[in-house]
Structures are given as structure tokens and as C-alpha cells.
Copies of this chain bind each other. A is one copy, B any other.
Amino acid sequence: MIEPRENQKQATSDFVECDNCSMQAICEPLKTDNQSLDLTSHYLSRRVPVDSSKKSISLTDTSKGLLFKQDHALIAIYSVCSGVFKLYREQEDGSQKVVGFRFPGELLAEDAIFQQKYNYSAVAIGEGSVCEVSIAPLNACSQLAPDLQSNLIQLLAKQSYEQQRNNEALIGKKSSEALLAAFLLNICARNAKHLGSETDMPLLMSRSDIANFLGVRRETLSRLLARFQQEQLISLQGKKLKLLSISALKSRIIS
């Protein structure tokens, strides 16, 4: 396993390139504009490591790898640089419901802007890192730079689009099989750009979390994955997921 020695920061290749990042709209344009260049430094922290395998870092609290916590006041929004983040919500009965995953290049917590508080908790699965955009300074800078504002509009509009698509992929699938097929295609598509492959990706999330998210039992997920392998739709060894036939998978999505 290619494990580049670690924590004096991973190899560059583990990070998504800025060109593939959702946050680009409010990071990069300012690079080209000399006058605004300084602005990003007021709100942006690049590639902050968030690690669930080590003891908790400088972040506020309890659980290791926790990026932010449900119901806490909004401080910053993020984009994922590396790793995978799990979004979940504590329920009245104490159990947790996984409400989503975020992959490198994707935005995180932007839906907290409306009520100024986080709607779910986010935790890194294994090692991860994020770019952090602090909201208060961003707002201040936006007053000064109209371009920044219109870029923020673009960013939110794009996110609205992505979210709609991701959710359409999952609502109202009649069988678990269709649901899983849609999920696998969805996550591979979302990882395609930065991994350079439409068919291969590491499945870092645990079966429990995936099953929780999809609303099926661990056991069912296990059986479905086994069936998909038998039928040569996917191959799955360890964490390595490979889609063997995208078209065949698509044909399983009968909503």
C-alpha cells in the first residue's frame, strides 16, 4: 500500500487540485487580481488537516476528526481537500442518521449560511483535510469586492445544482438494488474528476455508514454487494471499488 509517511503532511497527490474544487470561485479569482490577493488571507485557511485516527487536534472538542457539530453556530464553511467526510445528525432516540458524504473538491456546510448554524455534524473518515472559509471575514470582504460576491453566487448556485442531482439519485428508488446502483454511480461520478477514473475509487466509508445512509441494513448491503460482484457489475477487494459495467449498473436503476 502506497503510504507516504505522514503528518508532516501527505503527498501532494492526495489533495484535490484547486481546479477541481467547488470553492474555487471564492479562492482563485482573487489570485489573478493583484489588488484582491490579500483578501483571501483574511478568510481562507488552506488545507487544514482533520484526522480521526490521531488524537484530537486543535479543534474544539471531544470526538477526534470532528470538523463541526450539529446546532453549533456557523463559523466557517469548508471544502474537502482530501479524505472523505461523513455528515450525520443525532436523533432524539440517541441514534445517528448519516445524511451524506463529501468527497474531495466538494463543499461542506454551505447550507448553514441561512440559519447561521450547522445542520449536521461532520467528521473525517480516517485522515482528511479541508480548506476553511471563515464567514465573518468573508462577509466583510464581500462588501469591498463585488466580484467576490458574484463568485459566491456562482458557488451557491452550483451547490444547489449538485445537491439536487445527488438527491434525485436517491429518492424514491423502488428496490434496494436500484438504490445501491444509483449510489455507487453517484459517488464514482463525484470522485471521477479528481481521481481521474469514472470506475475506480476507494470505498473508505464503513458498511454501517453506507447502510445507514441508504436506509438498509448492514446485512442487506453486504448481500447486495456480494450479488453485484457475482453478477460482474462491480469488483470490490478490501476498500478498492471498481465499477465493471456502468451501463449495466444504470439499467438496474429502475426508479
Contacts and interface: CB of A to CB of B under 8 A. Distances in A.
Contacts of A192: none
A160 B110 contact: yes
Interface string A139-176: 00010001001101110111111111101101111100
Interface centre among A160, A161, A213, A216 (most CB of B within 10 A): A160
A99 B98 CA distance: 21
A214 interface: yes
Interface in A101-154: 110-115, 119, 142, 146, 149-150, 152-154
B161 A113 contact: yes
30 contacts: A89-B168, A91-B255, A97-B255, A98-B172, A99-B164, A111-B157, A111-B160, A112-B161, A113-B157, A113-B161, A114-B154, A114-B162, A119-B161, A142-B150, A149-B149, A149-B153, A152-B153, A153-B156, A156-B156, A156-B160, A160-B163, A163-B163, A167-B167, A167-B170, A171-B213, A171-B215, A172-B213, A172-B214, A172-B216, A174-B215
B159 A160 contact: yes
Copies assembled: 2
A36 interface: no
A171 B168 contact: no
A235 interface: no
B111 A171 contact: no
Nearest to A113: B157
A99 B168 contact: yes
Contacts of A159: 160
A212 interface: yes
Given A119-B161, A159-B160, A215-B255, 17 more contacts: A89-B168, A97-B168, A99-B164, A99-B168, A110-B160, A111-B160, A111-B163, A111-B164, A114-B158, A156-B156, A163-B167, A170-B171, A171-B171, A171-B215, A172-B212, A172-B216, A173-B215
Interface in A202-249: 212-216
